[in-house]
Amino acid sequence: MKWDVVFGSVGMALVAMASAALAGDKTKSEQAFDRLSSLKGEWNGQIDGVNTTLIYTLTANGSALMEQCRPEKRPEMITLFTVDGDHLIAIHYCSAKNQPQMATSPITDAQKPLEFSLVRVTGLQAPDDFHNTGLTLIQDDNDHLTQEWSYQHKHKTGKNIFHFTRVRQGPS
């Protein structure tokens, strides 16, 4: 009986060490995705003076983070984030009815802001139609998020900066 306790304790310790080792084996891009996934939940802010809610949900067995952008009285938009090798990708389903596909450079520091640049865009009717060309996500802290969206329209470029605050759920 004494040996059962000893072997059980040793087995549990080995399982705990293996789990810790596996967590430490994550690539920088997986670590960055885990950090991005910490956005799960609801966020409030304004986009161009319009009250806007962001809802982040993990989907596809935890392999994709979906952002639902819900501006009051305006069309909803969705952005999907996932890991692709040593970088992250984002596909934005825009209310302008196009789909910018963006990627980060190879991730070397999982704690830095994530800077996505345009790889290609689908759904454009004309090359000078409005479309996003980049996104930087800055997790200021656990409760504050800044999004910097760059865009192109009629051969001009610009940037919009939006700030969001996590919605804390009250006690149930």
- SS3 letters for 96-117? CCCEEEEECCCCCCCCCCEEEE
Whole-Å CA distances, 106 to 92, 128, 136: 20, 29, 15
Q: What's the pLDDT score for residue 48? A: 84
* pLDDT score of 127: 87
Structure tokens at 149: 């969206």
pLDDT at residue 42, rounded to an integer = 98
Q: Which amino acid is at 121?
A: V
Contacts of 108 by beta carbon, 8 Å cutoff, 6+ apart: 28
- Name residues of the chain where pLDDT drops below 70: 1-24, 170-172
The whole-number pLDDT of residue 133 equals: 97
- pLDDT confidence of residue 164: 97
pLDDT at 13: 46
Is residue 39 a contact partner of residue 65, using CB atoms and an 8 Å limit?
A: yes
pLDDT digits (tens, 9 = 90+) for 113-151: 999 999 999 999 998 999 999 999 999 999 999 999 999
pLDDT of the residue at 169: 78
Contact 143, 166 (CB under 8 A): yes
